Amino acid sequence: MEQYKRDFIEFMVKSDVLKFGDFTLKSGRKSPFFMNAGAYVTGEQLHKLGLAYAQAINSAFGLDFDVVFGPAYKGIPLSVITCMALNELYGKEARYCADRKEVKDHGADKGQLLGAELHDGDRVVIVEDVTTSGKSIDETYPKLKAAADVEVVGLMVSLNRLEVGKGGVKTAQAEIQEKYGFPVSSIVDMAEVTEALYNQEVDGRIVIDDALKAAIDAYYEQYGVK
């Protein structure tokens, strides 16, 4: 596993973004882990998060793209910090763009989108926090294509939960990739998280002990890809 991935996993835990316990997800599933990207709130945290996205995008998709797009709402700051980090790490100039949940009907920036204007031929990378069902991409992709004849280079999320999507056979990320034809990648996935944290200390405590590892294994026995 690349060092930036190990660093990112520890960073998620220290930032209280990745939690372990008993959680009920939007889907109704009972999960032993939960990720809340909204817990990244400080300048240092956002800086580190942007750097991780930039490194993962470069590794998975390269740097031949024009726009970083973030679906509202959590994707908006993600698109901004990723553009800043791409410039810092690689001298890459990318424009940020995001959508609004509600169409703005007044002012110079009225419309569905904010940030950079999209043009025909633009190559776009989409950034999200986590993809469980693919619902947000189903909402976002038509907005992108309605704005201009853009090409989506790929979708980058911070965590791949590695559980079955709506079809019940493949992961949500694999379903999106098959449906829309662009690659979907993640900074880390839950197999890497478990590998990095099982019986390992972060800030003086074991994050995933034997009991939690058993709960995670049981969760994937039920909801993982067979």
Which residues are catalytically annotated? Answer: 104, 106
Q: 180: buried, middle or exposed (CB in 10 Å: 19+, 13-18, 0-12)? A: middle
Q: Alpha-carbon distance 214 to 226, whole Å? A: 18
Q: Alpha-carbon distance 109 to 205, whole Å? A: 49
Note whether 37 and 51 are within 8 A (CB): no
Note whether 148 and 206 are within 8 A (CB): no
Q: Alpha-carbon distance 34 to 51, whole Å? A: 22
Q: Alpha-carbon distance 67 to 55, whole Å? A: 16
Q: Alpha-carbon distance 64 to 69, whole Å? A: 15
CB atoms within 10 A of CB 89: 14
